[in-house]
Amino acid sequence: MINVWVPTQRKLLAAFTSFMTATLLVTGPGSTSMAAVQASPDNRLPGLSGYWRLTDKGTAQPVLTAQAKAEMGKPDRKGDIDVEGARWCVFQGMPYVMDNAGPIEIRQSPAEAIIIAEHLAVPRHIYFHLKRPTADIFDFTPVGMSTGKRVGNGLTVNTDMFANGLGPNGIPRTEKSKLVERFQLLQGGRKLAVTATWTDPGVFVKPYVYTWTYERIPENYTVQEYYCDPRANGVGNYPPGEDPRGNATPQK
Amino acid sequence: MFRPLSLSCKLRTVIAAVFLVSGCGNVAFAAARPSAPAAKAHPDLSGIWEPTSGSMKPHGHPAFTPKATAAMSPTLTPGEAVWGQNGIDASDANCLPRRQPWMLVQSAPITIVHDGNKMILLYEKRSAPMHVYIDGRDHPDENAAAKPTLNGHAVGHWEGDELVVESVGFADHPGHGPLNSLPYLPTLKITERFRLEKNGQELHAQFTIGDPQLFETPYIYDFTWHRLPYRTNYALVELCDARDPARLKY
């Protein structure tokens, strides 16, 4: 064995530790890939990201209150789409985002998942670690406020603070509506089942539960653009005196 | 006192712990790392990003062509002139979506969700998502029947820790132009180079707006955002209804 002239182990340990501490202070803990969101726990559902096409809406039917039935029976109701709003390119919100406005795209980061319907411009944000804002400061929207977390082999999402509008099957969606969704992958990730539970004391006699099933679209898909101009739908606003329909445009 | 060199458990433990804390990508460790064929992790640009004070830094003044100069002084109809005097245009009056690059360099935050193969950029206010494909695909072939779109077709690739995004194929819809009121022409190409700074707390981007019909030389500017804490910040959803008569009154 060859004896090599070296400092004692203690001196080597001290020197090494000092050097690495200095290096970490200068370069930061690891690459910038680690420095972004140190979110814990990781609530992302592996395999959920991708493109999905709705293929089955099941057959579950709601049990409505008398008040909701009366609302549904009004002459200007036309199913689950706000036709006039759609002509004016008004965002309809939930659950339409998950329905015929697709296909949908889901992308996950450590802090949130977003769901974008191809035929709509406004996405859903599902926050994994957000401290939920309270109703007195949050502006209610057609997609509400969603937070989610991994529970077992699925992602559970809670949404409330909806603005009034059309809910599932044209049922009224009110500021008191609450939605719990369970996202689960099936058949090795080729299918996605989303079980939705709607509650609203003024609308549903009991929770309305249904499961919608989606099929995965290959990842080399190219998202088609959503572009809606109300003038292309026979409505819209024109400069004063230039409405081709001869309407007077409101002026200042 | 000098002793033969033999590493103790304590020293080995310290070295292992420091490697674990530093993670991958630390240049200081590159030489000491075991020769395992691990894929290099790219920075994660995800987050809610808010512009910092003085965020935009142009590289000089744009060098417009005569065609660009003429395009920025269009002849307005009488009705358009009335609207213009009231600060109204067709895009705002009809709630038409805004798009890149204008939407990325405004005062409101942007949200980026980035999962490796795809990056989506969302502007908080009335706009369309910007889809960036980072899966190795190229732009549609020139001969393909690809429809021009609001945000163009955007593909990205990594150059070190910098994500380079190139967008082509823009449709000329009403609204803010690639710069000022310039039109989106088929010859437009926008390049954005994104990188993280300050330990991932700042996002920097360099924008290059290139169109030989409109610019003698590409116009370049830098922009900086700072990260908003993810536990207390969320994107505001702007809802626009063109039926609201207030939109036509200023």
pLDDT in tens, A24-34: 443 333 333 33
Residues of A in contact with B4 (CB under 8 A): 1, 3-4
pLDDT at B10: 52
Mutate to test the interface with B, among A107, A120, A243 (most CBs of B within 10 A): A107
B115 contacts A240? CB cut-off 8 A: no
Q: Under an 8 A CB cutoff, do A27 and B28 touch?
A: yes
Q: What percent of chain B clears pLDDT 90, i.e. is strictly above it?
A: 57
- Mutation pick from A27, A225, A226 vs chain B, by most beta carbons of B within 10 Å, is A225
Q: How confident is the model at residue A77 (pLDDT cuts 50, 70, 90)?
A: low
pLDDT recorded at residue B206: 98
**Which run of H or of E encompasses A215?**
strand A208-217
Q: Is A23 contained in some domain?
A: no
> Is residue B52 assigned to a domain?
yes
Answer whether residue B120 is part of any domain.
Answer: yes
Res. B139 pLDDT band, cuts 50 70 90: very high
User: Of B173, B242, B88, B129, which is closest to residue A91 (Cα–Cα)?
Assistant: B242
Q: What is the mean pLDDT of chain B?
A: 84
**pLDDT at B246 (0 to 100):** 78
**CB contact burial B191-228 (16+ within 10 A = b; e otherwise):** bbbbbbeeebeebbbbbbbbbeebbeebbbbebbbbbb
**pLDDT for res B60:** 95
For residue A43, is it within any domain? no
Cβ distance of B236 and A139 shorter than 8 Å: yes
Nearest Cα to B33, choosing from B50, B48, B16?
Answer: B16
Q: Is B228 within a domain?
A: yes
Q: Is residue B91 part of a domain?
A: yes
The distance of B19 to chain A (nearest Cα, Å) reads 9
- The enclosing domain of B145 has a CATH number of 2.40.128.20
Q: Which residue from B minimizes the CA distance to A239?
A: B79
Runs of H (alpha helix) within chain B: 9-22, 66-71, 78-85, 90-93
**Residues with Cβ < 8 Å from B181, sequence gap 6 or more?**
B71, B72, B74
Asked whether B90 and B96 are in contact (CB, 8 A), the reply is yes
Q: Indicate the pLDDT class of residue B127, thresholds 50, 70 and 90.
A: confident
In a domain, B16, yes or no: no
Determine the Cα–Cα distance for residues B7 and A12; give it in Å rounded to an integer. Answer: 10
Rounded CA separation A173/A94 (Å) = 9
Contact state of B23 with A238 under an 8 Å Cβ cutoff: no
Coil, strand or helix at A217:
strand
Q: Which two tokens stand for residue A175?
A: 């500021």
Q: Does the residue B82 lie in any domain? A: yes
* Within-domain flag for A42: no
Nearest CA in chain B to A110: B46
ipTM confidence score: 0.82
A73-77, A162-166, B22-26, B99-103: least confidently modelled range: B22-26
Residues of B with CB below 8 A from A88's CB? 241-243
Give the number of domains in chain A.
1
Contact B25 A121 (CB under 8 A): no
**Contact A88/B243, CB-based, under 8 Å?**
yes
**What domain range is A146 assigned to?**
50-219+226-231
Identify all chain B residues contacting A42, using CB atoms and an 8 Å cutoff.
none
Domain membership of residue B101 as a residue range: 47-248
DSSP state of A48: -
Q: Is residue B101 part of a domain?
A: yes
B79·A242 Cβ contact <8 A: yes
**DSSP character at residue A206:** S
Contacts of A129 in chain B (CB under 8 A): 230-231
In chain B, the number of structural domains is 1
Distance between B55 CA and the closest CA of chain A, angstroms: 20
Structural domain includes residue A208: yes
Q: Chain B residue closest to A5 (CA)?
A: B2
Q: Is the pLDDT of residue A200 over 80?
A: yes
Judged against a pLDDT cut of 70, whether residue A134 lies above it is answered with yes
pLDDT, mean of residues B189-203:
97
Contacts for A71 with CB less than 8 Å, ≥ 6 apart: A77, A172
Residue A150 forms part of a structural domain: yes
Q: What is the CATH number of the domain that holds A92?
A: 2.40.128.20
User: Does the residue A239 lie in any domain?
Assistant: no
B13 pLDDT higher than 80 = no
Q: Does a structural domain hold residue A130?
A: yes
pLDDT value at residue A159: 98
Block residue for tokens 């949908």: A104
Cis before B178? omega within 30: no
Q: Is residue A59 part of a domain?
A: yes
| Interatomic CA distance for residues B203 and B47, integer angstroms | 10
Size of interface A-B (CB pairs under 8 A): 232
Contact A249/B248, CB-based, under 8 Å? yes
Nearest to B29 by CA among A138, A23, A72: A23
pLDDT of residue A74: 75
